[in-house]
Amino acid sequence: MTEKTQLYLVPTPIGNLEDITLRSLNILKQVDVILAEDTRTSGKLLKHYEINKPLRSYHIFNEHKTVDALITQFKEGSTMALISDAGTPSISDPGFLLVRECLANNIKLECLPGPTAFIPALVKSGLPSDKFVFEGFLPHKKGRQTRLKALAEEERTIVLYESPHRLVKALGQLIEYMGEDRQASVSRELTKLHEETKNGTLQEIKTHFEQGTVKGEIVIVVDGKK
Ligand code: SAM
């Protein structure tokens, strides 16, 4: 393993720009290069904090192609920070592949603690948080029914990411597999101006969100099977 840390995974705010740690800011100022999922989105954040470092794009469409070149640069001594558009890299975002390759090549890495959407959603749900499963996004088409069927048997609290336009449909499918009385929680726009958390049965939450167009970013939390 290399002596110095060469890759830092740095969490960035999920809405509120104040949600970045002092250590994250220091690391972003120290590294040679910042790898960003979307250089325009991250450019705004970095500008806000007056961080002026070379930005390179690293996203799901180029990660397989660029990872070998990055490993070569690490071996030549470069230090880099990986950031995603929001939250913690590698959590429903690019990162896993680079981490795996760094470990395979004995390149020392650190993941800084910081913002991620599923933790505040889980805590605000009031559902058991001692054991939970993070499912990320359900498959859109193929495999969705199979996942839902398996999740219906899950005894731990379930955390899902979902897009706003699919929320009501997803709640309908959860009702189909888990029953309308299953306790759940939907958090929308966490840390932002219009943050909202609706707790209740799956049916109550579905009725609530059916009232109008759902906007913003969404985390669904569902009680485990009792
Ligand atoms: N890496 C991120 C993390 O650590 O949470 C997740 C990135 S994933 C591409 C984006 C999804 O995260 C959104 O569709 C939504 O489900 C969830 N998300 C991100 N920010 C959120 C917020 N402010 N409020 C609610 N959900 C959010």
Q: Write phi, then psi, for 165 (nearest 5 degrees).
A: -75, -15
Residue ranges in the chain assigned as alpha helix (H): 22-30, 39-48, 63-75, 96-104, 118-125, 144-152, 167-178, 202-209
Ligand 1: centre distance to CA 186 (Å): 13
218 CB less than 6 Å from ligand 1?
yes
Average pLDDT over residues 166-176: 97
6 CB less than 6 Å from ligand 1?
no
Ligand 1: centre distance to CA 218 (Å): 7
pTM: 0.96
Look over the chain and give the mean of its residue pLDDT values, rounded to a whole number. Answer: 96
Ligand 1: centre distance to CA 117 (Å): 5
pLDDT of residue 71: 97
pLDDT of residue 183: 98
pLDDT of residue 62: 87
Q: In the chain, what are the domains?
A: 7-111 (3.40.1010.10), 118-222 (3.30.950.10)
Average pLDDT over residues 17-37: 97
- The DSSP letter of residue 210 is T
pLDDT, one tens digit per residue, over 91-103 is 999 999 999 999 9
Ligand 1: centre distance to CA 77 (Å): 33
pLDDT, one tens digit per residue, over 68-85 is 999 999 999 999 999 999
Cα–Cα distances (Å) from 166 to 10, 75, 171, 191, in that order, read: 29, 44, 9, 21
Q: Write phi, then psi, for 62 (nearest 5 degrees).
A: -125, 0
Could you tell me the pLDDT band of residue 63, with boundaries at 50, 70 and 90? confident
Rg of the chain over all Cα atoms, to the nearest angstrom: 19
pLDDT of residue 2: 79
